[in-house]
Chain A
Amino acid sequence: MQKKPNRQFSFKRWAAPYYLSVGVFLLFLVAWEGSAWAIGKSFILPAPTQIAVRLWELRQTLLAVHLPSTVLIILVGLLLSIIGGVGLAAWMSWNKTAERAFYPLLIASQTIPIIALAPIFVLWFGYSIWSKVAVTVLISFFPITVNTFDGFNSVSKELRELLKTMGASRKDLFFKLAIPSSLPSFFSGLRVAVTLSVIGAAIGEWLGAQKGLGYFSRRMMTQFDGAGVFAPIVLLSLTGILLFVFVMIMEKSILKWRNAK
């Protein structure tokens, strides 16, 4: 193997693909700012600069109290979704009966409007973290399960047969073929789930919470504080982006064989 030339990390090269979208985003902010001042009612449409100022004013309570509370819900919810989703996917791929029993239900469950269910969770779990976690799990469980299951089933028949001619057991086939080949689709499911989990946590908090970014945003709504509604939303969105980037980095480092030259 030849040694790769030691390339320096260059911000310019790294950022090049994003120039265009950053430009569009900045244009959007400018247009928003302009129309916000034109309308002149900050409780209906606060300007981005007003939101930024509010975010700065509220930084203490948002970062110290509400952000950690929401992030905890997101992480617990995601963790449960991953454990449950991967477990169910593995079971369904291992056992045909389990597949026939659960797969149709899983698909059908997506027609349930989860937002409408959320108030019930408050009844069941009260104002504890679990009512919010339940919404998060319900919303992020599906993409993880379905994608991972598809991944388990993506092993080619020829490869399975080849391993069988080597005397592979079902366990060998599962650990040496099914699990590794499910990883790419697991990660694409996880990427979707991560962004959904932020939404799930926010919805959960809207409906019944004493802290959290979703709760805070809603409380500001009742006070006609437009910028205060948006400030926690900015933080929610940043949380989602950070989680997404984290999953991408994890995916790149685990599936590094794809990029080997």
Chain B
Amino acid sequence: MSSSVLQVQQVSFRYGGKEIFRDLSLAIQEREFVSIVGPSGSGKTTLFRLLLGLEKPETGGLFLGEKQVIGAGGGIAYVPQKDLLIPWRSILDNVILPLEISGLTKREAYANARPHFASFGLAGTESAYPHMLSGGMKQRVSFLRAYLTGSDVLLLDEPFSALDAISRVEMQDWLLEQWVSLKKTIILITHDLDEALLLSDRILVTSSPPMEQLAEILVPLSRPRTMDMKLGDKSLLSLKSELLQKFRHEGAKCDAEET
């Protein structure tokens, strides 16, 4: 598995005494687009926190390329659910944050960041403050900030969940374009099955803990994809109902365990 960019090897993890992962292994390939879906409380975010080094696995290890993830700052970029922009920093000052932290001077960081504003659809917002932008724009800023970490792997935690239906569809299209042009590996947590089907090569389904493996569904759509494909394709509909069933089944189990 030399081309896998991210590997989870036999990871066990407990949160508050509750066993969530037991010897879980999975691998993400380079430039793959993987979505993680699953009922709430089934450990999607926990998996992200492990990958980001914000939590330590009890046993097993996580590897980014050859390098083991130990502690935060291990080189995976994160696009959080809320945009988490810093309100007192201008948009330009927000996106250069990872560059500043990596030790660049402001001047170098600005020079690095400015050329990307146009391709991220953010031209003209450099000196604005976050509260002046729409939700969709703020997510783009958050995405650009993650991109500027220089990391090859981007983790997206329900980045569009707070957007209205129309901006969400726009942002999905946009993300698809970005993924193609930026040549990054993307892992996306989402609750939206259409979103997962439209965007990903592969969908991982979390289930009720403890999990030993994640169910996997390959999305048979060819690239490049468009919105029309999502709406028209028959096989996609059956895939969606399959996914929905898995989802419901696991959701019921999760609920049963929580009560």
Contacts and interface: CB of A to CB of B under 8 A. Distances in A.
Contacts of A255: 88
B72 interface: yes
Nearest to B124: A1
Given A257-B87, A257-B88, A165 B78 contact: yes
B136 interface: no
Contact of B72 (A158, A164, A176, A183): A164
Consensus secondary structure, chain A interface: helix
A183 B101 CA distance: 21
A116 interface: no
A161 interface: yes
A82 B251 CA distance: 55
B17 interface: no
B97 A161 contact: no
A248 B198 CA distance: 52
A165 B77 contact: yes
A158 B132 contact: no
A71 interface: no
Contacts of A234: none
Contact of A165 (B76, B89, B124, B129): B76
Contact of A176 (B53, B78, B97, B124): B97
A1 B73 contact: no
A158 B97 contact: no
Consensus secondary structure, chain B interface: loop
B84 interface: yes
Contacts of A261: 132
Contacts of B82: 158
B101 A168 contact: yes
A163 B97 contact: yes
A158 B132 CA distance: 21
Contact of B128 (A1, A156, A180): A1
B149 interface: yes
Interface in B76-92: 76-78, 80, 82, 84, 86-90
Nearest to B72: A164
Contacts of B57: none
A162 interface: yes
A167 B73 contact: yes
A165 B64 CA distance: 14
B97 A165 contact: no
A167 B149 CA distance: 10
B53 A260 contact: no
A177 B133 CA distance: 21
A172 B98 CA distance: 11
Nearest to A180: B88
A166 B101 contact: yes
B81 to A, nearest CB: 9
Contact of B52 (A1, A156, A165, A180): A165
Given A1-B127, A167-B101, A260-B132, A161 B88 contact: no
Given A158-B82, A161-B54, A166 B128 contact: no
A255 B129 CA distance: 12
Given A161-B54, A260-B128, A166 B84 contact: no
B102 interface: yes
B87 A165 contact: no
9 contacts: A1-B127, A158-B82, A161-B52, A162-B84, A164-B72, A164-B73, A165-B77, A167-B101, A168-B101
The 3 closest A-B pairs by CB, nearest first: A167-B73, A164-B72, A166-B98
Given A159-B86, A166-B73, A166-B149, 5 more contacts: A161-B54, A165-B53, A165-B73, A167-B73, A172-B101
